[in-house]
Every structure is written in structure tokens, then in C-alpha cells.
Chains A and B, each alone.
Chain A
């Protein structure tokens, strides 16, 4: 079952990466990062079925960090949203690269 689980994880990872590359909406990009993290967790759990429980411990830390990142991300989105109530929506694109 290892190969199947890893292939699923690779699929998830590629979809997530692809989504980040082609989408421009900040929230969708954020969702795609969550897909990537789930791919990682799936791979770790699959490996830990074979080499010991260490991989599952790693998964908890990934989840913790993901939750922290989501909280900070939401806070940043709120602070941007605050500017939008006063500033015209059309010129969001201050910073370019």
C-alpha cells in the first residue's frame, strides 16, 4: 500500500504546486499550500507505517505550524481588507515583480 499512498501524495503535491503557480488569487494560493502540506503529511504517515512512529510525530508539528500560519495569514488578510474599505479596490497592485 506504500506505493499507492505515495502516489496519491505526489498527486496532491503536484496539484498544490501547480495551483500556486497558475492561480493569482491570494486565498486560493493559500488553499493550495494546504494541499501541499497534506501531501507531505500523507507521505510521512505512509513512511511511518514502515519505519516507525517518528514520522507521525513530524505530522503533528506540521499541523501545528499550519494552524499558526493560517492564523497569521487570516490576520494579514483582515488588515488588508481594512484598507479596502477606505481605498479603491482597483489598485491593489502596489508591489510588482
Chain B
């Protein structure tokens, strides 16, 4: 189906709810003195939008607003992921000491707008929409990164983020302009038809795709477009860092899959995708190389980090590399594993950042020394949760991260990418070292005399418990989630 502007509105209510919440917050910010109410209102808006999104799931794939955005299970899946991350981030923000220093009204408005942009990254069916969605997310991310007042680290990180983001998106739209020149349209369906016809200049196509991949890869933070991530993770307020690490990554995955699969490839037999635009060049080899470089670089750089937020940034780069593995096999099994991993990563990484926030609230520090003997300083529950999240990030059974990694590795072994599988295994072993160094610090190291007791932030406890339970439960009973991701692979096919 293909709807016009007015007819589309009836299928657009999650976005309308979210946009409405943003506008209401903008106005309320001027009149309401108690800014904490803004957080609860934002939370409520997100939950209503979440309900609306779940309600739409399973609708017949439809193109809305003159083929600008696609409404299909794939986009709805990523909208659910975004909203879940938003709910988690707002909840974290309520208890965060760092966020208390910023202008709360503006903080929540910009945070929700960031999620709003991710909706369009996931559902764009037109190069212009993809660009606008990505830029909306980028702009809001720069603002949120630089929001901490009297904090040079934050302002500097924002400037770096802005400059590297500008370069990445400039490169991306240069690629898009070439695709427009070759296909004669911005619409994914027309591009697909032009690509299926073949016969384009291979070098021009290759350059265009590499440029576009650079822009998307920047959002996912994979090498060599990852330079921003350690600084931004460290400089930004922790709840936003948690949100950025999971949601920006997920949105990058979404926009990448939608462009390189339904838009320029064709779905063949049994879920295998044919990428026939570039017959002369080995596209998958490039992706394999990128994946290997990303995970290895991320893990090796994480080894000697003393700041936990920075360490998690490098671990995030490594995880972007793991997620990329699902891309190289060019079939639905790989994509399914990617979606599964996105959800698992959301849960465990948000949890890890929540513990970072709790420790920072109590001690004002983010370095490894603040974690010395954490379990014996009155924060046994956060310490145990952190251990669960880190075990899951490493990929140890029986945690959810193990199943996620297993699915990815199974997909690439089936696709006979043995080298990649071996590198992924080695990387997992390497990551064991730095993740477990934190666990060792928390449980085995003696607290120094100057380390005071850590009062755990009370409001964060329910969220922390829920995330920990989910991490364990999804590690032993993952079938419902797997069914959900399998069902979410329904694309609107041109």
C-alpha cells in the first residue's frame, strides 16, 4: 500500500504521540517550576508511544507520506528498541546526580527528539528521509553531550563529536548524491530497480556505497569511524551515554540494513539476499575486513583503560564489530542474529552504565579505583548486577550475551566465514581480561581506607533489578525474543 499525506496520519500515531510529548514539554518548560515533573511526563509519553508501536506491530507493510517512510515490522521493531532505550535513559536520568546540574526541561526535550529522529532512521524509505533522521539524531546528540555545565570535558567532547559527525554526514550525502545521479531518484524502490538492472559504473557505485557506509558506520561506531566514541562516552552525562551506546548503535544498524538490503539488494530463495549492484567487486570481503578490524581494535584499546566509561566505549566499538558479522553472510539468519544481539546489547549495556552511574553518584568518580571492593562497601547488589552484565558482555553462558554471540557465530560458520569466526572467538577471550578486571576489582580488591561506603541510588534499583533478571532470563529462555526478531524481518519490499 502506498498512502498520501492525510491518509498516512491514521498509521502514524506512535510518532504523533512522541512529537506531541515533545511539544507539550517545550511549552510546559516555560510555565512549570518543578522540572522533575518533566521527566515523569516524558516517561509517560514514551510508554504511550511504546503501547502504540506494539499495537501497530503486524500491520500490513505500508508506505506512508508519499513513500517517504515505511511502516513494516522491521521499522516497528527498531521503534520499540528506541522507546525501550528512552524509557531506560529517562529512568536513569531521574536518579542521576550529573543530570541534576543541567537544565532539566531542555534535557528531556532534546533527549526525546533524539529518539524521534531514530524513528525515522529506522523507517526511512527515501535517501532524504534517511539523511534527515540521521542528522536529527546527530544534532541532538551533540547538544546532549555538551550539556554539562562548567565541564570542559563535556564541551570539548561535543565539539569533537560535531566536527567528526559533520565530516561523516558530509561524506555520506556525497555518496547519496551519486546514487541519486545514477538511479535518477531518491526513492529506495527506484534505486532498487536501477541497481537490479545492473550495468552501472562499478567504481562509481563502489565509491558511493563506501561513502554511505561511512556515514552509517559512524553512527554504529565501527572502525575507522569510531574516533569520536571514547571521548563522547566519557564527556557526556552518563544516562545519555547509556542511551547513546545502545540506541545510536541500534539506529545505525537499522538504517544500514534498510539501505543495503531492501534498497539495493534483492531477496532470493530461502532468505538469501543477492547484492547484484556490484558484481565485479567483492563487497563481502570489505565487510569482513571492517568487522575484524573493528572488534580487534576495540578490544585491544580497551585493555589498558582505567576509566570505566571509556572502557565501555571501546567495548562498544568491539560489539559493533560483532554485530557487523551478521551483515557479511547476506541472508536472513545473519540479520536475525543482528536484531537479537541489538536487543541483548541494549539490556546488558544499559545495565552496565546504570551501575557506572550509581557509583558516580556516590563517589563522583568513574575510574577503576572507585570500584575497589565495591561489593564490601554497601553496594553488593549493584556489584553483583555489574558482574552479570559484564559476564553477558563477554558472552559467557548462561547470560543473554552468550546466546546473542552464539547466533551470530552460527550464522557466519554456516556461511563458511571461518576466519571471521576464529577472530571473533579470540576477541571474546581478549575481552574476558578487561571485563573481569572490573569484577576482580569489585570483589577481590580490598577497599582502601579513603574509600567511603557507597550509597546505592534508590530510584535506580528497580530498573537495575529488571535489567539483571532480563539478562539472565533471556540467556536460558530466549525463544520468545527470537520469534519476535524473526517476525521483525518483514520488510516493505519495493
Contacts and interface: CB of A to CB of B under 8 A. Distances in A.
A51 interface: yes
A77 B158 CA distance: 9
B303 interface: no
Contact of A80 (B155, B180, B184, B186): B155
Contacts of A43: 174, 177-178, 181
A75 to B, nearest CB: 8
Interface in A30-79: 30, 33, 36-37, 39-40, 43-44, 46-47, 50-52, 54-55, 57-58, 61-62, 65, 68-69, 72-73, 75-77, 79
Interface string B168-195: 0111011001101100111000000000
A65 B180 contact: no
Nearest to B132: A61
Interface in B148-166: 150, 152-153, 155-160, 162-163, 166
Interface residues of B, number: 39
A80 B152 contact: yes
A39 B157 CA distance: 27
A39 to B, nearest CB: 7
B162 A73 contact: yes
B231 interface: yes
A9 to B, nearest CB: 8
A80 B166 contact: no
Contact of A69 (B128, B132, B139, B231): B139
A95 interface: yes
Given A33-B166, A51-B181, A95 B171 contact: no
B451 interface: no
B485 interface: no
Nearest to A81: B155
A58 B129 CA distance: 10
A66 to B, nearest CB: 9
B159 A76 contact: yes
Nearest to B149: A79
Nearest to A59: B177
Contacts of A65: 131-132, 135, 139, 169
B167 A17 contact: yes
A79 B132 CA distance: 26
B47 interface: no
A72 to B, nearest CB: 6
B167 A20 contact: yes
B163 A29 contact: yes
Given A40-B170, A80-B159, 6 more contacts: A17-B171, A20-B167, A36-B166, A36-B170, A68-B135, A73-B162
Interface of A: 6, 13, 16-17, 20, 26, 29-30, 33, 36-37, 39-40, 43-44, 46-47, 50-52, 54-55, 57-58, 61-62, 65, 68-69, 72-73, 75-77, 79-80, 83, 87, 92, 94-95, 97
Interface of B: 127-128, 131-132, 135, 139, 142-143, 146, 150, 152-153, 155-160, 162-163, 166-167, 169-171, 173-174, 177-178, 180-181, 184-186, 227, 230-231, 234-235
6 contacts: A47-B181, A58-B180, A65-B139, A75-B146, A77-B159, A80-B156
